[in-house]
Amino acid sequence: GVQASVMRAYRTPLAFTARLLPHGARRTAHRGNVPRSSVRTVVMASTSTTTLVTPKWVKDNLADIHVVDASWHMPALKRSAVDEFKAKRIPGAKFFDIDGVSDGANPAPHMLPSTQGMRAALNALGLIDDRAVVLYDNDGMFSVARAWWMFRVFGRDNVFVLDGGAPAYEAAGFTMELDGDVAAVDVSAQACQDAMKGEKGSDFRGEREFLVKSMDDVIKNIDASTFQVVDARGQARFRGEAAEPRAGVRSGHIPGSRNVFFGDLLNSNKTFKTKDEIRAIFVSNGVDLSGDKPIVCSCGTGVTACILALALDTIGNPNAAVYDGSWSEYGADEGAPIAVGEA
């Protein structure tokens, strides 16, 4: 089916090659003769067989890849991702704003922008060629997963994530770029918002709608049970025992959903745990990984849900969807049914 074919295209090096070559070179690629002018892009886009890459891989390939800082911090932390980027970054990095590259007209935070808005943001950052993109954040593993999911939703496959982020890169002894002149940091957000001026509608789903779910989809699924919903929030919030950080949002969870706290999937240095550990965590929390029933990830505002989706990708389930509005949208709707207590 569609899901299987997409998974094959996402994982097969030859599919990478065919997609990244100029149109006229594709037939040649299938014979194994990649034109010399195309070798660098193809090799770089397919050298990593996994979505997660190491600091050494990034350092060794800086000249051939796009490096993008996708840091974003919870407002309560009062940290500025922009200021931190200006002060220190991986050499040559550009800044992608997951909060600014969004549907600003939607009351829920950082909802997906339109295809036109996303394309404008990527164009402004010079990310429209076929070079591999490596995303990272300053926390190690937080908002970067949201950026990775966004890129995938809008049709990009040769996108990788630096496991452990900027802290891992520094811990490996590699030099960071400090201060200096940084091109307009807010170009991605500004380009997106300019492109979406006057655009009507919401519930944008990019170019791969199977990776995105809406509140309507989730509510219908409570009775239909065609997919599994996995909530990335902490246990107390999931059970309805802790107040939500956003005003006007009720406590509890989507009926029938499972709970896998995103932090349980990470080591203390914010790198992912082993594949076996990740599988065991999902299974122990009642998630079916057989592939027979699709998985939809949710959280508070659609950020840490993407960490679950990325974790599932690392263990061979690359097509987990994300409920974009997540609990900030669902819990604010008085008409949406809510459950409390254990899953």
Q: Which residues are catalytic?
A: 299
At 49, the amino acid letter reads: T
Within 13 Å, how many C-alpha atoms sit on residue 64's CB side? Answer: 16
Cα–Cα distance measured from residue 109 to residue 65, given in angstroms and rounded to the nearest whole number: 30
DSSP state of 183: -
Residues in the chain: 343
CA distances from 66 to 131, 148, 175, 237, 333 (A): 7, 13, 17, 37, 40
The sign of the torsion formed by the CA atoms of 151, 156, 157, 163 equals negative
* Distance between CA atoms of residues 301 and 30, nearest Å: 43
Strand partners, 258: 230
Q: 236: part of which helix (H) or strand (E)?
A: helix 235-239
CA pair distance 101, 121, nearest whole angstrom: 7
* Structure-token pair, residue 281: 């965590």
How are strands ordered across the β-sheet holding 52-53? 52-53, 159-162, 133-136, 66-69, 94-95
Going by the DSSP 8-state scheme, the letter that residue 253 receives in this structure is B
Task: Output DSSP code: residue 323.
Answer: E
**Residue 186 near residue 100, CB atoms below 8 Å:** yes
